[in-house]
Chain A
Amino acid sequence: MSVTLKSEINHLSINKKRISTTFIIRQWQKNKYVYIMAVPVLLYYIIFHYWPMYGAIIAFKDFSPSKGILGSPWCGFDHFEMFFTSYYIVRLIRNTLLLSIYNIIFSFPAPIILALMLNEVRNKYYKSLVQTISYLPHFISLVVIIGMVLEFTSREGLINDIIAIFGIERIPFMIDTKWFRSVYIASDIWQSVGWNSIIYLAALSNINPNLYEAANIDGAGRWRQMLNVTLPGIAPTVIILLILRIGNLMSVGYEKIILMYNPTIYETADVISSFVYRKGILEMSYSYSTAIGLFNSIINFLLLILANTVSRNVSETSLW
């Protein structure tokens, strides 16, 4: 996916054709129906993506639905100031960043390792069996997965039953603040490791087999081949995905958090996106939560640009 995306972005340099009336008329005659097809698509993007970007200016206003976006009075950076001085900011940024960083340390490499391991399996039936089963959790809905996680981590649940066999005391995982992150990351890996390995397997299948033969002749064993041929072969894919991941450093999806957390563990479980959801949708502080969301989006966007620039200079691989 990322490779495609990269080439798309490279094509974005806008064509500098001369625009004249005759040119426009000829274009329209030639591509009339294509432009007609483009209309609903562009309308969708303008209404459901660009209108909300415009709507985000309510972060600088005291928005009230009855007055509308234009009618509401400006208030400058008041909402941002309120957020930066609020009691929650440290906790929210810490929780968001920690979950993201743990994700990069643990969840990100897991599918790479799995792909490398699958690549070494010579028996193709065993390989496809492992693949089929490891992709499965990706298709089970988050609601069901988290329902299972909550059952399993309860005091009387499966995980406690297992650790009780080894004589360890039962842990009330989901009401203990220090366990939330581990449960979150572990369930994340469990659900997505197989599916995320597909893209690396695709990259692996593109490596020239001659390289392995050459390495073999040079006396490299399986382990050395993996280090010197396979890893460099998938490095560009890894880097692209890592750039995208860093571009999301400040966002942890609200869907999973909202399903998982409860007020007793807000201390470690509440992240920026879930806070935006609670403030905005449950408490209807529209402007305040939009300001937090906007702050979040902008930081992410800047991180993406930064990660891309660093990568382009260091490794010559970049998104654009």
Chain B
Amino acid sequence: MQKRKSISEITFDTINHFILFLLVIITIYPFLYVLFASLSDPLKVLQGGSLLLWPHGFNLDAYKMVFKNPMVMIGYRNTIIYVVTGTAINMLLTSFGAYVLSRRDLYGKSFFMFLIVFTMFFSGGLIPLYLLVNKLNMTNTVWAMVIPGAISTWNLIIMRTSFVSMPESLVESAKMDGANDFYVLFKIILPLSLPIISVMILFYGVSHWNSWFNAMIFLRKRELYPLQLVLREILISNSTDSMTIGITGDVAPVAENIKYATVMVATIPILLIYPFLQKYFVKGVMIGAIKE
């Protein structure tokens, strides 16, 4: 039903598109600025006006410095370990929980449900959890990074919603053939839920990749630090000193460059995979939102 647009509609559309275009610029520009600044020659930036629409000169020293920093490499390695282990534990327990809560005829189900949902609205607080993890001797181990957040209640509920929407007859016929619930979950339900599974893996994976607070309070050994904690030292606590040792002359501009290069090094992996994954994320949120 193509109709000629009235003047007011054209104005409406133009203004709308323009504001959204501004939003895109505001979102993208900081990253571009960081990219340009990281590639610029630090001394040129210092001399000329520093507002950048393109790199001032070209210089990869900052990147070399970042990659030479052993902590950055250790951080990358540890983060990968935490992402893989953590996500595996998350997925196993979340599938179990979602399966249990999706069984219609289970006695005690509403009680389990209440127990779980209540934790979304009330918690014991930071300090009791901190003392608990200390008491369990998880401090300074990988477990402190992966066990306290083993299930996200949001994700559990989204996954349960997806399991519930599966035809009950499927499970019943399998059971009649003598399958037990583990078989039903791993061989029937999970293979049929690949979209939601991939979304959950992404949600959990990203949250492990970005997590730093648990590491900050539970890890004292530097060789266990995840990348985010190393980034925090470089970007926020300003400890670029260790990286600029041996550089003669003015250290300050180099230190700024190193910060920008660090942001890029930490962000580029996500920027590269993001366009391919984005639609799955959106699907996940939609699944959670639409089904009642």
Contacts and interface: CB of A to CB of B under 8 A. Distances in A.
Given A130-B23, A301-B121, A117 B16 contact: yes
Interface stretch (B61-69, B191-199, B241-249, B259-267): B259-267
A73 interface: no
Interface string B256-292: 1001101100110011001100100110011011111
A121 B16 contact: yes
Nearest to A48: B148
A21 interface: no
Nearest to B118: A49
Interface in B188-228: 206, 209-210, 212-213, 217, 228
B239 interface: no
Interface size range on A against B:
35 or more
A151 B271 CA distance: 20
Given A55-B131, A118-B20, A2 B150 contact: no
Contacts of B185: 37
Contacts of A32: 180
Interface stretch (A80-88, A98-106, A287-295): A287-295
A214 B181 CA distance: 50
A273 interface: yes
B12 to A, nearest CB: 6
A139 B119 contact: no
B274 A136 contact: yes
A94 B51 CA distance: 37
Interface size range on B against A:
35 or more
A290 B127 contact: yes
A133 B150 contact: no
Interface in A1-58: 1-5, 7-9, 11-15, 17, 23-24, 27, 30-34, 37-38, 40-42, 44-45, 47-56, 58
Interface in A224-283: 237, 247, 254-255, 258-259, 273, 276-277, 280-281
A40 B51 contact: no
Interface in A73-132: 114, 117-118, 120-122, 126, 129-132
Interface of B: 6, 8-9, 12-13, 16-17, 19-21, 23-24, 26-28, 30, 33-34, 49-51, 93, 96-97, 99-100, 103, 105-107, 109-117, 119-132, 134, 147-148, 150-151, 154, 157-158, 161, 180-182, 185, 206, 209-210, 212-213, 217, 228, 231-232, 234-236, 256, 259-260, 262-263, 266-267, 270-271, 274-275, 278, 281-282, 285-286, 288-292
Given A120-B13, A141-B212, A12 B128 contact: no
A220 interface: no
Given A4-B158, A34-B181, A52-B129, A161 B50 contact: yes
Given A3-B292, A14-B110, A280-B130, A156 B50 contact: yes
Nearest to B235: A147
Nearest to B129: A52
Nearest to B270: A139
Interface of A: 1-5, 7-9, 11-15, 17, 23-24, 27, 30-34, 37-38, 40-42, 44-45, 47-56, 58, 65, 114, 117-118, 120-122, 126, 129-137, 139-144, 146-148, 150-152, 156, 158, 161-162, 165, 190, 193-194, 198-199, 202-203, 205-206, 221-223, 237, 247, 254-255, 258-259, 273, 276-277, 280-281, 286, 289-290, 293-294, 296-297, 301, 304
Given A117-B20, A135-B282, A12 B110 contact: yes
A312 to B, nearest CB: 16
B125 A152 contact: no
A158 B30 CA distance: 9
A269 to B, nearest CB: 14
